[in-house]
Structure 1
Amino acid sequence: MAGALVDGAGRILVRALRATPAREDAETVMGAVASVLAELTASPLWGRVDAVGIGSAGPVDTATGTVSPVNVPAWRGFPLAERVRALVGGLPVALVGDGVAMTAAEHWRGAARGYDDALCLVVSTGVGGGLVLGGRPHPGPTGNAGHIGHISVDLDGDPCPCGGRGCVERIASGPNIARRALAAGWRPGPDGDATAAGVAVAARAGDPAARAAYERAGRALAAGIAATATLLEVRIAVVGGGVAGAGDVLFGPLRQALRQYATLSFTQRLEVVPAKTGTDAGLLGAAAAARGL
């Protein structure tokens, strides 16, 4: 869990970081949030704070201020916005999903800056996303609009934990890239790295199973991006998250496949670019949400 004090120009002035006790009970998890906030409120700069933003793993419900992160089992319908508001003296609190936070960050300070219509993706342990429409982030009624990871791109594909089948996330997330590569015969190198990062190293070295896993991930992302562009006429797709760190190993097959899927005249000029805000995306996006950007 990360927290920061961010100024109006998007500069991070103070940071706080705590491990997430994801498998503990709800109050223990909340205790980590409270510890981050305690460090921030102790800063001499805290007196200048006029709003608080939260970017949370989803699903979130911005209408009720609750969160139900898949990777934090004890938080189901947890009233995070209300609990944070009580810890910050009643300041205004804005809650968004992590995909929307990344989108707000990239539109404010990153690769989507200057674009009125954009799709931003977080490709990591899962695949999240968010939209910019008409010049503003578009979170939707509950804050989950743009969740591209659960678009089905393989009608006969593997069941997804969300209850669907053949979802983008089931193919293109880091754990699923590693799972597919291992099933096809790839084995980790001497460092024992069995993650998608290890698969990327092997793919660069020419390992066929590793390359195939990234090529399939790229095709899945391309299909989801093309479907979104067809529906909404977004002009740019910004891809961030840990898996995007694979660089051309991912972006090469993604862009190649996009030419096969985005064939209509109004989708053919769609750009796909890496995110610029990196590991600060969640913090900047939460700040942008607090500022109403």
Structure 2
Amino acid sequence: MDMLRAMMIFLRVSNTGSLTAAGRDLGLSQSAVSQQIAALERHLSVRLIQRTTRQLTLTDAGEEFRRRSLSILDAVQEATEMASDGEAALRGALRVHAPVGLGQSHIADAAVRFHQLHPDLELDLVLDDRIADLTAEGVDVAIRLGTLPSSGLVARRLGEVRRILVASPAYMAANGIPESIVDLKQHVQVRFNATPNGDAMPLIGPAGLEDCPVRTVFKANNAYALTRALVAGLGLGAAQMPLIRRELEDGRLQRVLPDYEYAPLEVHAVYPSAHFIPVRVRAFVEFLQTETASLLHS
């Protein structure tokens, strides 16, 4: 049997958790995928996938085979790309995951321009504020904000995003302009609903880090929703500079306490394999570094 093809089908099944979804991705029928998996299990004389009426899960042998298959297919791709000496056009699928705010404002445009340079690529851009499981979801590269937890992923720093305290002119006209960090206690805020500090504003100013408790009146898990709330005058709050440049320029938002800022958010590109990074992934990350240089280093 064609072991490389069988490995590819098996990995797609393990990534999607579905014979039907794997077949759809590979252009095969569900029965053809099932036959390939059955043939692979007969060839190896071991059960790789535990089938139930609701889901597919890997057996212990399946998990081990999956890990080794990834290494083997990485090595095959590495050999192929080394043989071409990087001269061939970028081909294949490139799945990119990015947060919604930065994704809509900058990553999407960069992805479009990258595809225009490499039209043989099949580029799949997913904008989502949750943390994706790169391996399980078949993500080649993800853009992540903030401090990275220890995860075994490979990370490349792209820069950082400044965050400032802002409010609308209407809000400040109705509630007064804070003159000091102490004045913030008399105000209300708009914030992300999963911030580790809760209602405390962790602002960095002349005296260093200061936490000021400010009552929250509006929370959301999306930067654009929060920007709309700020522009509407619901409260004051943190905003990522790249996402509100237009609002600052046209006066819909104004900076509050300009001597204070939030700690910047680091921006990283992360990918799952330390052994081999496909040329298309390296090329996209390098392109992204160039495209976002002024954005993430200002």
Band of TM-score, shorter chain? under 0.3
Q: Taking CA–CA contacts closer than 8 Å with sequence separation of 6 or more, which of the two structures ends up with the larger relative contact order?
A: 2
Q: TM-score, normalised by structure 2?
A: 0.26
Rg (Cα) greater in structure:
2
Structure with greater strand percent:
2
Q: TM-score, normalised by structure 1?
A: 0.26
